[in-house]
Amino acid sequence: MEVNKKPKFEVNNLNLFYGDFQALKNINMNISSNEITAFIGPSGCGKSTFLKTINRMNDLVPGVRIDGSIKLDGLDIYSDIDVIKLRQRVGMVFQQPNPFPMSIYDNVAYGPRIHGIKKKSVLDEIVEKSLRQAAIWDEVKDRLKRNAIGVSGGQQQRICIARALAVQPEVILMDEPTSALDPISTQKIEDLAVELKKDYTIIMVTHNMQQASRISDKTAFFLSGEVIEFGETGQIFSNPRDKKTENYITGRFG
Ligand SMILES: Nc1ncnc2c1ncn2[C@@H]1O[C@H](COP(=O)(O)OP(=O)(O)OP(=O)(O)O)[C@@H](O)[C@H]1O
């Protein structure tokens, strides 16, 4: 039994404004380590905005204003942690696989090189380990010099996951990582997420409620910038406390 396990993230009274528009409204949430947390909700409800706030990707958007706090292992990500360090600890995988137009090897070695690793034997080791962890090593080990753009979309997405893993993050944010993929590739990414949660904390935005119920431990249901309900995935899907959650998961809107 886990007693008093400290949350990986503590989010308190978080509000986010794009100019005059409030996209996140008083979000409070503790996110546990070594779990998959899923964010569900209809289009435009703020899921991606919240996900991007967790590694400060919204800093890049002009006119954004954020108040409240997000703590990672007890440190405020907006005041106590350098943004470069934060993004090393909190990696991200996007909806569209976005390998860089370079070799598979160079894609995965990119982050470690930026962090100053130059020795080939060390890079070789990181590349192999990351591709293995992303369950794609066997498929690409004989063509590491090939351009990553030339493999299938599902393989590209696993290369992007390997690229994220190569800098040894603690958390992986995934923004609808399978919505551009076929069912077989989707299943591979789902299996991979379940495998990776042993070592990482995973937070995933998904439009696919079956996916959330299949693989996540906790689910947050967002609506119009608010978290309507957050809890154990089994409870959210079988016994939602809020009528709005029930209406959404039973397909009455969204
Ligand atoms: N850069 C931006 N500037 C202004 N408004 C934005 C910006 N990005 C998002 N929004 C608005 O904030 C709200 C939340 O958007 P967000 O992309 O977080 O929703 P979402 O739940 O992830 O939607 P989807 O499932 O369609 O990706 C929407 O009303 C959107 O139009």
Of 17, 25, 27, 45, best ligand 1 pocket probe by most atoms within 8 Å of the beta carbon: 45
Average pLDDT for the chain: 94
Side by side, the strands of the sheet bearing 201-205 are 90-93, 171-175, 201-205, 36-40, 218-223, 226-232
As for the ipTM of the complex, it is 0.96
- In 3D space, the residue among 234, 231, 173, 233 whose CA is nearest the CA of residue 200 turns out to be 173
Closest residue (by CA) to atom 1 of ligand 1? 61
Domain architecture of the chain: domains with CATH: 9-99+171-249 (3.40.50.300)
Positive or negative CA dihedral for 45, 48, 54, 57?
negative
Residue 4: the pLDDT is 58
Atom of ligand 1 nearest to the CA of 18: 4
pLDDT, residue 221, reads 98
pTM (two decimals): 0.94
Residue with the smallest CA separation from ligand 1 atom 28 is: 44
CB 225 within 8 A of CB 203: no
Whole-number pLDDT of residue 219: 98
Q: At what angle do helices 153-165 and 104-114 cross, to 10 degrees?
A: 20
Predicted pLDDT at 3: 55
Alpha helices in the chain (DSSP H): 47-54, 83-89, 104-114, 120-133, 137-140, 153-165, 183-196, 209-215, 233-238, 243-249
Q: Which residue has the tokens 């080990």?
A: 141
pLDDT of residue 185: 87
- Ligand 1 atom nearest the C-alpha of 49 is 18
Distance 181 CA to ligand 1 centre (A): 22
CA–CA dist 13, 47 (Å, integer): 16
Question: Which pLDDT does position 119 carry in this prediction?
Answer: 97
Residues in the chain with pLDDT values less than 50: none
